[in-house]
Structure 1
Amino acid sequence: MSTQPSPSRVAVDLGPLLALREGTDPAEWSRIRATQLAAGRQAAPLLFAANLAGGVAMLLLTLGIVPVWQIAGWLAILAAVAATVAVRRLRTHHRSDGYAEIEAVRRTAWEGAALGAAWAIVPLFFCPHLPAGIDAGAGMVLAVLTVAAAFSLAPLVLATIGFLAVLGLAAAGQQVLDGHGAAAAGVALFTLGQAAICVTRARGLVVLRAAEIALEERDETVSLLLREFEDHTADWLWETDAARRVVKASPRFAVACGLDPVGINGMSLLQILAGPSWDSGRFAPGLRALAEKLKARESFRDLRLPVIIDGQERWWELAASPRYGEGGQFAGFRGVGSDVTEQRASSDKIARLARYDTLTELPNRLLINESLARAMADAERWGSRSAFMLIDLDRFKAVNDTLGHLVGDRLLVRVAERLAQLMGEGSMCGRLGGDEFAVVVSDASDPNLVERQAHRIIETLSRPYEVDGNTLHIGASVGLAIGPRDGRTAEMLIRSADLALYRSKDAGGGVFHAYEPKLHAEAEERRLLEMALRTALERGELHLAYQPVVDAGTGQLTGFEALLRWHSAEFGNVSPAKFIPLAEEARLIAPIGAWVVRTACAEAARWPGHVRVAVNVSPDQLQDAGFVTTVTQALATTGLPAERLELEVTESVFMHEGTGAVRVLERLLDLGVRLSLDDFGTGYSSLGYLSRTRFSSIKIDRSFVQAAAKGEREALAIIRAVVALARSLGMATTAEGVETQAEHRMVEELGCTKVQGYFFGRPLPVEEARALANRRIAHAA
Structure 2
Amino acid sequence: MLKGILGAKRAVPSPDTPAPDNGAPLQQSERLTLLDEVERSGLGWFWASDAKGHLTYLSAALAERIGKPLEDLLGQPMATVFVPTDREGRGKSLALMLGAHKAFNGLAVEAVHLQGGAVLRFSGQPMFGEEGRFIGFRGTSADITEEFRREEETERLAKYDSLTGLSNRHRMAHKIENTLKAFQAARRNCAVMMLDLDRFKQVNDTLGHAAGDELLRQVAERLTRAVDRDCEIGRLGGDEFQVLLPDMDDRGELGEIAMRIITMLRQPYSLADGRCVIGASVGVAIAPHDGVTREEIVRAADLALYSAKNSGRGQYRFYSGELENDTIFRRRLEENLGSALADEELFLRFEPMIEADSGYVRKLEAHVCWNHAQRGEIDEEEFAEILEGSSHVCDVGLWAIRSACHHASTWPESLRVAVNVPVALFMLPDFVDEVAQALHEAGLAPGRLDLEVSEAVFLGDNAVVDRAMGGLNRLGVPLTLDEFGSGFSSLAYLRRAPFSAVKIDRKLIAAAEHEEGDDLALVRAIVALAGALAMQTIAGGIETTGLLSALQGAGVQFVQGPIYCEPVDQATLAEVLSAGGWRIEPSAKRKYRARRRTVFRKIHVIHDDHSYEVTLRNLSRSGALIQGLADVPKGTQFVVDLGGGQLAVATVIRSSGDTQGLEFEHPLIDDGAGGLCTRNRVSPYALAAAGAPLAALGPGAYQAMPGGNLGQGGSVPLFAYAAPGRNEAA
Length-normalised TM-score, structure 2: 0.47
Higher strand share: 2
Higher helix share: 1
Max Rg structure: 1
> Which structure's relative contact order is higher, taking Cα pairs within 8 Å and 6+ residues apart?
2
Length-normalised TM-score, structure 1: 0.44
